[in-house]
Amino acid sequence: MSRVRADEEEYWHSSKFRAFTFDDEDDELSQLKESKRAVNSLRDIVDDDDDDLERVSWSGEPVGSISWSIKETASGSTSSLDGRDSSLQKGSSSYAAALPKQASSYSLSSLFKGRNKLSSFQSLSDALTDTGVKNYAPELRRPKAEYKDYSGDWSPKDTVRRMQRGKVCSLERFRSLQDKLVLLDEAVAGHDGNVITAVLIFLKRTLRREILFRELEVRQVALCHLIHFLRETGEQKFLLDLLRFLDRTEEVALSQYREHLNIQDVEKRREFLKGCIGLPFSAEDTSHIQDHYTLLERQIIIEANDRHLEMAGQSELFRKYPRKASILNMPLVTTLFYSCFYHYTEAEGMFSSPTNLKKTFKIPDKQYVLTALAARAKLRAWGDVDALLTTKNWLGYTKKKAPIGFHRVVEILQRNNAPVQVLQEYVRLVEDVETRLNLATKYKCHDVVIETYRDLKDRIQLTAYKGKVERGSAEEEKINSILSNT
């Protein structure tokens, strides 16, 4: 037996391979994996039906477990094995108890050298590549560098820095209130919104609301982050509790009012807005809430009447210009445009009348003229456009007046393909000479250009413009007539 031991020791000491150890060094990891695969492959040998085979150590002596073989190989590092991996030894010995002992004349060294005597046994390469083999070797340990980030005892400052770099850090170990507040203060000092939000989510989950609200009251930066986060995620109840604790009554009212956006049924939304009128808003906001409720109420009435007219086919306007969308929940300007388009001639007492809307909601003249002009020009109702821009003074004289400026009137009319005669009438009313000439030249209002150069007594420009008009046209004759007059 001593002779066999000498042969085996000579073989292993002369090989270029070294026995593995359980050290965590990176250069030993590959050797440890190779040893594990080799030991796992023993199952095919141990479970073989040949009664003459028994387990042997690498020295050629029968032993009681596979873990003993591993221990025999790593005899040079037994002290570190005992101190650091006792759990692995226990796991290996448990596998040994489950393996029956068998008698054989084969040694493990002969297996590694390729000197197996039974042709029915798998080769070492087959054993290593067999996917059906059950693992009997202890699980490989992670190098410390891999799991250090998860279990490291980081301070709040170090934790925040690692979170800023995108490292995975567990916040669960910060258990005391003091540690959590220090962590929050470090996150705020780091000026990283994502880290602040992550810490706030952790505090929101692990602290009672009263404690969290009290601490955030003196930390305005973190408080603003939490309020914004709650609004983005739609946690309305938590947000209202926070605002009530801070005694922000107007923000509570606005948050409740914002809930109408989630109500799809128009009647339920109208009732909800009616209830919002009594909330503690400021005077200006209360007026807006009242107007919103009144507008929705008007829209419900207008929508019901117009839907009936459209379905009955009694209105020529609805037949010629079918409605593209419902008027419900539309803004005030859209509702005014709709009324100027479909109900422009209605009396002021009707809810759908444009003048009724203007009076009820105190729409400024400039906004009313701009909206009504766009609606009537789209219908090519040039008579209504003229009447809209004509005013009468206290002496009964009429005058054209445009609160939005006649240059904008010309642009709106041109976008709606107004005739040149209509455009010329309003281009003449533009007071600024240069703007008037630019508009007249752009939209080919020749008469306006000729009259303007005539008033300026600019024969040079008038002669140059003569080349831009059609030869033999009335505009050319008009230019010739002006140039011949000394």
The answer to whether residue 97 is domain-embedded is no
Rounded to whole angstroms, the Cα distance separating 226 from 220 reads 10
> For tokens 């906001």, what's the residue?
285
Is pLDDT above 90 for 33?
A: no
Measured between alpha carbons, how far is 184 from 105 in angstroms, rounded to an integer?
69
Most confident of 265-269, 471-475, 481-485: 265-269
| Residue where the block lists tokens 């000491």 | 13
Residues 451 and 440 in one domain: no
Q: pLDDT at residue 58 above 50? A: no
- Out of 122-136, 156-170, 221-235, give the one with best mean pLDDT: 221-235
Vertex 461: Cα angle to 460 and 467 (nearest 5): 100
Give yes or no for a contact between 285 and 250, defined as CB atoms under 8 angstroms apart: yes
204-218, 330-344, 387-401: lowest mean pLDDT where?
387-401
When divided into structural domains, the chain yields a total of 4
Predicted local confidence at residue 479, as pLDDT: 87
- 128-132, 235-239, 341-345, 420-424: lowest mean pLDDT where? 128-132
Predicted confidence at residue 427, as pLDDT, reads 94
Which of the residue ranges 74-83, 232-241, 424-433 would you say has the lowest mean pLDDT?
74-83
Question: What average pLDDT does range 468-483 have in this prediction?
Answer: 85
Q: Tell me the average pLDDT across 256-266.
A: 87
pLDDT at 197: 92
**In the predicted model, is pLDDT for residue 82 greater than 90?**
no
Q: Does residue 88 have a pLDDT over 80?
A: no
Q: Are residues 354 and 276 part of one domain? A: yes
| Whether residue 459 is found in the same domain as residue 437 | no
326-369 pLDDT, tens digit per residue, is 999 999 999 999 999 999 999 988 999 999 999 999 999 999 99
Domain identity same for 380 and 356: no
Residue 433 placed within a domain: yes
Q: What is the mean pLDDT of residues 208-220?
A: 92
pLDDT band for 112, please (50, 70, 90 cuts).
Answer: very low
Verify that 393 and 422 share a domain, yes or no. Answer: yes
The reported pLDDT for the residue numbered 96 is: 42
Q: Which domain holds residue 440?
A: 365-444
22 lies in some domain:
no
* Chain mean position to CA 19: 55
Residue 145 counted as domain residue: no
356 and 391 share one domain: no
In this predicted structure, what is the pLDDT of residue 336? Answer: 96
Residues 396 and 425 in one domain: yes
CA–CA distance, 78 with 21 (Å, rounded to integer): 9
> Are residues 450 and 437 part of one domain?
no
Whole-number pLDDT of residue 344: 94
Predicted local confidence at residue 225, as pLDDT? 94
Cβ(121)–Cβ(45) below 8 Å: yes
Q: What pLDDT score does 65 carry?
A: 46
Helix/strand/coil for 392: strand
The CB density around residue 8, as the number of other CB atoms within 10 Å, is 19
Is residue 461 located within the same domain as residue 419?
Answer: no
pLDDT of residue 66: 46
How far is 411 from 15, CA to CA, in rounded Å?
95
Q: Which two tokens stand for residue 7?
A: 């042969």
- What is this structure's pTM? 0.59
3 in a structural domain: no
The confidence band for 392, taking pLDDT boundaries of 50, 70 and 90, is: confident
Question: 358 and 306, same structural domain?
Answer: yes
Q: How confident is the model at residue 436, as a pLDDT?
A: 93
Q: List Cβ<8 Å contacts ≥24 apart for 202-211.
A: 202/171, 202/174, 204/238, 206/180, 207/177, 207/180, 209/238, 209/241, 209/242, 209/245, 210/245, 211/177
Sequence length of the chain is 486
Q: Which has more confidence, 204 or 129? A: 204
Which of 206, 222, 247 marks a domain boundary?
Answer: 247
| Residue 384 or 128, more confident | 384
Domain boundary, last residue among 247, 272, 291: 247
Model pLDDT, residue 236: 84
Whole-angstrom distance, CA of residue 472 vs CA of residue 346: 48
Q: At which of 202, 222, 247 does a domain end?
A: 247
pLDDT level of residue 10 (50, 70, 90 thresholds):
low
Q: Are residues 358 and 369 in the same domain?
A: no
Domain assignment present for 102: no
Q: How far is CA 196 from the centre of its chain?
A: 18
pLDDT at position 337: 96
Q: Do the Cβ atoms of 423 and 413 come closer than 8 Å?
A: yes
pLDDT at site 2: 55
100 — alpha (psi -120 to 50), left (phi > 0) or beta?
beta
Q: Which two tokens stand for residue 315?
A: 């209105």
Tell me: pLDDT of 93 over 90. Answer: no
Region 60-64: what's the mean pLDDT? 47
Instruction: Specify if 92 maps to a domain.
Output: no
The average confidence (pLDDT) of the chain is: 77
Confidence of residue 31 (pLDDT cuts 50, 70, 90): low
CA dist 479 and 449 (Å) reads 10
Band of the pLDDT at 188, cuts 50, 70, 90?
Answer: very high
Per-state percent for the chain, helix, strand, coil, to nearest 5: 65, 0, 35
Per-residue model confidence (pLDDT) at position 1: 52
Q: Tell whether 137 is covered by a domain.
A: no
Higher pLDDT pick, 429 / 85? 429
What does the alpha-carbon distance between residue 285 and residue 156 come to, in Å, rounded to a whole number?
Answer: 44
Percent of the chain exceeding pLDDT 70 equals 68
Q: Rounded to whole angstroms, how far apart are CA atoms 465 and 486?
A: 19
In terms of Cβ atoms closer than 10 Å to its own Cβ (0-12, 13-18, 19+), residue 423 is buried
- For residues 428 and 453, state if they share a domain: no
Q: Is 100 helix (H, G, I), strand (E, B) or coil?
A: coil
